[in-house]
């Protein structure tokens, strides 16, 4: 992939999804676009910065090609990847805040890659993980990912709007065509299609909840409404599904009406903290990441008061194997305000705060 084609593709992609228009309205989405033509040679200290950057990153197998086509090779090993920098300011941004700048510069076409991008990221993260044990404190503070944004009532709505209200046409390009699921699929067999694996996940959830016709279910964070429709269609239950994404709720209501399920499902555009009533089952698939640790107890109390006697709750979440902050670029551009539970330490807290309270009657 060359530099000019990356810029062309970036511009076409932005035009196709309406991101340029949103960038003019939202500082969160504004990318560092600029004229990348530079008519000067790299200065001595800029070459030094590249070498220092690579040493601090653990000397990964990456060569740098600068804006004048000068090349700086990695130390002590052959290069597997080449990073092209289009201008000096791209270098300064990468040195001062690499976690945020790498994604921004790549998206803007000011940083380009020769080689497989996922393999480069894997090699880079492995090198950094080893190198950071020896970082001075000032560097750890400089390159540290920032604390996630708040997930209070008003902030949560802004976070969800940023991530999910890009337009349903965008998500149709890459989600399954069965129920528009944006959470983990369940591959009972390796040969299943994405659609089959997503439907298998929905069936697995319903079996765990032991649903029966006539039961009432409340869903916190319903996405495009696929689980609610599956439960209503296949198990004959009545569902109240909460969501604060207007685009998703609009789509969910339209699909329920087309499928003749609107008498069994009420899609409610409201925050999960405003759930009212008591139900036979509480379910939340892929929303815990948006809740934030500070709201785990709030969620546990909500589950407790929302369940009828002998009611059952199920919460599904992605997680990670060690505690760490979300990457700064993902948190700012893609997924604002996330907290990913950790399989051991944080899940012990989560299980105490949520699951024991939510399963208290089962």
Q: Residue 21 maps to which CATH number?
A: 3.30.1050
- 239 strand-pairing partners: 217, 265
Residue 106 falls inside a structural domain: yes
Q: For tokens 């699929």, name the residue.
A: 185
pLDDT at 25 (0 to 100)? 46
Q: Say what the pLDDT of residue 9 is.
A: 44
* Total structural domains within the chain: 2
Residues 6+ apart with CB under 8 A from 345: 323
Q: Do 167 and 124 belong together in one domain?
A: no
Shared-domain flag, residues 42 and 99: yes
Question: Are 304 and 165 in the same domain?
Answer: yes
Angle, in degrees to the nearest 10, between helices 226-235 and 194-209: 60
Q: Are strands 71-72 and 111-114 parallel, antiparallel or unpaired?
A: unpaired
Check whether residue 185 and residue 230 sit in a common domain.
yes
Q: Are residues 211 and 338 in the same domain?
A: yes
Q: Which residues have a Cβ under 8 Å from the Cβ of 7 and sit 6 or more positions away?
A: 36, 108, 109
Among 32-46, 185-199, 250-264, 295-309, which is the least confidently predicted range?
32-46
**Which of 82, 113, 142 is the last residue before a domain boundary?**
142
What predicted TM-score, i.e. pTM, was given to this entire model? 0.78
By CB atoms closer than 10 A (0-12, 13-18, 19+), residue 45 is: exposed
Structural domain for 55, as ranges: 3-142
The region that residue 59 occupies, defined by phi over 0 for left and psi between -120 and 50 for alpha, beta otherwise, is left
**Domain contains 147:** no
How does pLDDT run across 137-196, given as a tens digit for each residue? 888 788 887 777 777 777 777 777 777 778 889 889 999 999 999 999 999 999 999 999
Asked, for residue 343, whether it belongs to a domain, the answer is: yes
Task: Look at 29-38, 213-222, 294-303, 353-362 and tell me which has the smallest mean pLDDT.
Answer: 353-362
Whether residues 55 and 179 fall in one domain: no
In a domain, 128, yes or no: yes
133 in the same domain as 163: no
What span, in angstroms and rounded, lies between the C-alpha atoms of 86 and 88? 7
Q: Is 240 found in the same domain as 121?
A: no
Same domain assignment for residues 280 and 207:
yes
What's the pLDDT tens digit per position in 208-230?
999 999 999 999 999 999 999 99
247 and 189, same structural domain? Answer: yes
Give 85's strand partners: 111
């Amino acid at each position: 992939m060359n530099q000019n084609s990356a810029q062309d593709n970036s511009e076409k992609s932005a035009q196709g999804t309406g991101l340029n228009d949103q960038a003019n309205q939202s500082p969160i989405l504004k990318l560092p676009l600029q004229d990348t033509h530079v008519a000067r040679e790299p200065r001595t200290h800029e070459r030094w910065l590249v070498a220092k950057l690579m040493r601090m990153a653990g000397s990964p197998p990456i060569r740098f090609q600068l804006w004048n086509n000068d090349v700086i090779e990695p130390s002590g090993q052959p290069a597997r990847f080449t990073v092209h920098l289009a201008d000096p300011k791209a270098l300064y941004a990468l040195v001062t805040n690499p976690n945020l700048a790498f994604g921004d510069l790549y998206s803007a076409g000011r940083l380009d890659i020769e080689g497989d991008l996922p393999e480069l990221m894997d090699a880079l993260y492995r090198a950094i993980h080893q190198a950071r044990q020896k970082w001075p404190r000032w560097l750890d503070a400089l390159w540290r990912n920032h604390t996630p944004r708040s997930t209070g009532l008003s902030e949560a709505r802004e976070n969800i709007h940023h991530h999910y209200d890009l337009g349903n046409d965008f998500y149709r390009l890459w989600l399954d065509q069965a129920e528009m699921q944006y959470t983990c699929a369940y591959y009972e067999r390796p040969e299943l299609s994405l659609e089959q694996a997503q439907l298998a996940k929905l069936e697995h959830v319903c079996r765990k909840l032991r649903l029966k016709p006539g039961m009432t279910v409340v869903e916190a964070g319903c996405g495009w409404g696929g689980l609610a429709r599956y439960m209503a269609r296949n198990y004959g239950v009545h569902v109240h599904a909460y969501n604060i994404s207007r685009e998703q709720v609009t789509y969910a209501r339209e699909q329920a009406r087309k499928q003749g399920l609107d008498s069994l499902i009420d899609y409610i555009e409201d925050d999960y903290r405003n759930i009212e009533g008591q139900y036979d089952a509480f379910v939340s698939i892929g929303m815990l990441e948006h809740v934030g640790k500070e709201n785990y107890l709030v969620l546990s109390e909500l589950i407790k008061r929302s369940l009828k006697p002998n009611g059952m709750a199920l919460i599904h979440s992605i997680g990670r194997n060690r505690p760490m902050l979300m990457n700064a670029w993902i948190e700012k551009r893609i997924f604002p305000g996330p907290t990913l539970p950790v399989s051991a330490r944080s899940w012990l807290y989560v299980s105490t705060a949520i699951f024991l309270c939510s399963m208290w009657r089962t």
